[in-house]
Each structure stands twice: as structure tokens, then as C-alpha cells.
Chain A
């Protein structure tokens, strides 16, 4: 099972410069844990204390997961996940 995860420029130091990587999991939380086994440190930049970090936005098939179930959002094979930094100030 493969889910494509698009990585923003600022986090590509964790992916050897790759713009997109693949991972597996039933939820975003599991997906980020899986990614961390190959890209150590990436999860910590996205997740903090069981929630998305405040200045990070994550999109599942372009939909903001904060409006879905956050990192508990279910994901499936063929889905596309996009991580984007939110510049200080944020939207909320």
C-alpha cells in the first residue's frame, strides 16, 4: 500500500531532497510514523504531542485535514498527502 506524500522545500533535508516520498498506514498518524522510519526527524517537524504542529498544514487529496479528523484522519492506497508550512501568523 502506497500513499504519496509531497514534501515542502523546507523539509526536504529529511528526504535527501526528494519532493515526494511514499509511505503506508491506515491513518495520517500511522503514515507519519512509517515515514519517520526512513526519514528520521520528519515526523517531529509535523506532529507535536499527538496533534499537528500549529504552523504546519497537511492536506489529504488537497483537503485541509484540520477540517477532517486531524492526524487521526483515515488514509488509503492511492491517496495524496501534501505537507505545507504555514508562515508565522497562521490562519487561525
Chain B
């Protein structure tokens, strides 16, 4: 495949069947490898789309400063695009996110403002909104409420999946900004009668319980419950266990939130298998494991040791 610039190479990611984790020949689990995007995560799609939409609307002009609350991936995607397009960028992120994410943001030239760990992304959103009020000339793209976020998935991710797998029965993704689920979900519901749209929501242990949980009280403006068929709540232990299984069984090196999506995908696959129904379950590999290496979860002796290593950290 040939592209005219790095930014043009966003999307068109592989969809791969997981032969060892699929329950049977009739029930297949498929991974959409979004880590194959230019900065290594699914967020390249909404980030680029939000920037280009803001440029088209005239909100974003040369020399502008972009402001965004982000626990990492969206900031990294925006920072890369901002550098190539000549914008300054300020990211607000919780102080308890991994060192790799900070390093990556700094590498792309982003300025990082830390928000308190307590309240996680919810607090980062609040701090960013305060900064936005103080600096009216800064442009907050605001992934939690920007329709260009699901719009990117409606225009690209959804059609790619349908083209590769017209027999899709379930689509599973993590629930953060809700952009992936809303965008792909709306597209597939229009094209595939009876398709199930399944959310995998992170559930943290007591230490960081609910930091990015919708139930913490912050519901992204983009969220529309009617797009979802069902919702899974996935604890740290299951997320870590599945992340390690994906590596050991299928050789896919993914981030921890992907383990949560896989857990939900295997849950709906097992239900279809028990009911004697055929199913093609697609889940999103949101990013690779690189940014989580320092947690030690990939090489820990056991799942228990890996969970202990992750204790108290945000992973989605």
C-alpha cells in the first residue's frame, strides 16, 4: 500500500481471526489491529478527523494552540498531527498515567499539564475546561463531545470492518469517550440487521475504583445508550489475564484495555457457542503493549503477580 504522507496512512488496519481463542469454526473471534496506525493507537483516527474538521470549520488556523484532556493516546495522536501541521498543543493528563505516555507526548513536542490522580480522567476534563475558560484563544477539540470523534469511526473503521467481514454479528470495543462504539455501532446498525454492539467498560480495584467509569458521574456527551446492545464491566484481573492470553495464544502484543475488550468478546462468543448460533465477533485492539511495558505485566510469573504489578494504575 502506498500513501502520499504519514497522515494519509491512518486506518486501513488488518482484521485477523484468532484461531486459538475462537470457540469453534462456527464462532470466530476477530481482532481489528488498530495498533497499526501511525502513532500506534486507534486514536489516530478521531484525532486526525477532529483536527481536519476544525480546520474545515475555520476554528483551527495556523499558529493556534490545541488543548485536550487525555490520558495518553489521543494526546499522542493529536501531538503528532499538530507537529506535522504546525500547531502548538497542551495536554491535560492524570498524574498517575505511565511514564511512557509522558515521554511520547514530550517527544512530539506537547506541553503536559498534570491533573490530580483522584478523579482520573474526570478531573483532567474539569481542569481542561477551566484552562479553556482562561485561554479563550486555545482550541479544545474535546474528544468526549466532538462528533468528529465517532464520525471518524462511522466513516472509516465501520466500513473497513464490514468490507472485510460482511458476516459480522458482534462488535466489541472499550468504553472511554464512547467514540469507537458510537461511530462503528451506528454504521453497522444501518448495514447489518441484528448486529450486536457490545461495550467493555473498565472496572478498577478499590484504589482507583471508577476513575474512568461512566458511573463515576461523568458521562461523555457523545454517549447514546441506544446504540449499545449490552455492556460488560471488566475488572483489572480479567483485563490483565486476557492481555497475557492474547500474547501467549495468538502472539498479539496489546495494551491492557484490549484485554478488557477481548474478555467481553470471549463472553459473547461463549454465549453464542452455548446457544448453538454462528457468530463473527470483532473486537478492537486499541493499542500495542509498548506503553505498558514498565508495569511488568507481560513478563510477570503469574496473572496474580501481573495484577499486583498493575495495582493502582489507570489502564484504560
Contact = CB atoms under 8 A, between A and B. Distances in A.
Contacts of B267: 61-63
A44 B83 CA distance: 56
B234 interface: yes
Interface residues of A, number: 18
A84 B235 CA distance: 12
Contacts of B231: 63-64, 67
B183 to A, nearest CB: 19
A92 B224 CA distance: 9
B264 interface: yes
Contacts of A15: none
A37 interface: no
Interface of chain B: mostly helix, strand, loop or mixed:
mixed
Interface of chain A: mostly helix, strand, loop or mixed:
loop
A91 B214 CA distance: 6
Contacts of A87: 210, 215-217
Contacts of B203: 84
A90 interface: yes
B199 to A, nearest CB: 9
Given A90-B215, A91-B219, A92-B225, A62 B210 contact: no
Given A62-B267, A63-B232, A64-B231, A86 B238 contact: no
A91 B218 CA distance: 8
B263 interface: yes
A86 B233 contact: no
Given A62-B264, A63-B267, A86 B232 contact: no
Given A64-B232, A92-B225, A9 B206 contact: yes
Contacts of A92: 225
B229 interface: yes
Q: Most B CB atoms within 10 A — which of A57, A82, A87, A91?
A: A91
Interface string B200-242: 0001001000100011111100010100111111110010000
Interface of B: 203, 206, 210, 214-219, 223, 225, 228-235, 238, 263-264, 267
17 contacts: A59-B233, A61-B267, A62-B235, A62-B263, A62-B267, A63-B230, A63-B231, A64-B233, A68-B230, A82-B233, A84-B233, A89-B216, A90-B215, A90-B217, A91-B219, A91-B223, A91-B225
Interface of A: 9, 57, 59, 61-64, 67-68, 82, 84, 86-92
